[in-house]
Amino acid sequence: MITAEQKPLNEIIAYISPYDRILLVGCNECVTVCSAGGRKEVGLLASALNLHFLKQGRTIDIKEMTLERQCDPEYVEELVSEIDRADAILSMACGCGVQTIAERYKEKPVFPAVNTKFMGASESQGVWVERCKGCGDCMLGITGGICPVARCSKHLLNGPCGGTSNGMCEISPDVECAWCLIWERLKALGMENRYEEIMEAKDWRPAGGGGPRKIIREDLSL
């Protein structure tokens, strides 16, 4: 899923201060799962903003809404009935959601309330870790299901660098060396020969090096 973290309140407050009527929009997908921008967080942020502005002697009207998915135009359409009553929109979705709203409601300023972080997996409750860079050419099949692009600090493709130490990466004693993990995994699977295959220089165009990416499924498009 896409992970996100709420922005510092000061930044959010600075965005919305010039406006009196705010439409605060959450998303029921990834940001709900990582507790950054779901219905609950929308309520909490609305409450915090109310506390802030009331303390300043000012009341602002915050309308809370949480859409099923903010990155789909069909769901973003549900804001139509509320949009006229808002001076600005504060989105708690990832960057995709913010942009979908901005594209649909061109006449309203849209501000992000979260920082979109990475594509991650839940390691344990309340802990999310980066597991995919979306490189567009998945190599997990040859690296034992452990991604060197996402998990090696240098994105190395042919074994570890000299910075590996006792299975950990030189950038931090808390970061595991992806290539040590890959080697151990291949060994456990009896697939050590995979390690010896030299990977050619990666084509980074599908990873975004060729500009913004797009998927077109002609069988699905209308």
Name the site residues for other proteins (rule: CB under 8 A).
Answer: 8-10, 40, 43-44, 47-48, 50-52, 54-55, 57, 59
Q: Between 41 and 160, whose beta carbon lies closer to other proteins?
A: 41
Minimum separation from the CB atom of position 39 to other proteins (A): 10
- Our CB check for other proteins shows the closer of 51 and 191 to be 51
Q: Given the complex with other proteins, which of 40 and 85 has the nearer CB atom?
A: 40
Q: Which is nearer to other proteins, 35 or 153 (CB)?
A: 35
The whole-angstrom separation of Cα 63 and Cα 108 is 15
Alpha carbon of 8 to those of 13, 14, 35: distances in Å? 9, 10, 15
Which residues contact residue 146 at a Cβ distance below 8 angstroms, ignoring those fewer than 6 apart?
140, 178, 181, 182, 185
Q: Who contacts 15 (Cβ-Cβ below 8 Å, separation ≥6)? A: 88, 90, 111
CB of 40 to other proteins, least distance (A): 6
Q: How far is the CB of 75 from other proteins (least distance, A)?
A: 23
The least distance separating other proteins from the CB of residue 30, rounded to whole angstroms, comes to 20
Q: Which is nearer to other proteins, 81 or 124 (by Cβ)?
A: 124
Taking Cα atoms as reference points, which of 116, 71, 119, 113 lies closest to residue 94?
Answer: 116
Least spacing, CB of residue 55 vs other proteins, in Å:
4
**DSSP state string for 139-151:** -TTTTTT--HHHH
12-13-18-19 Cα dihedral, nearest 10 degrees:
80
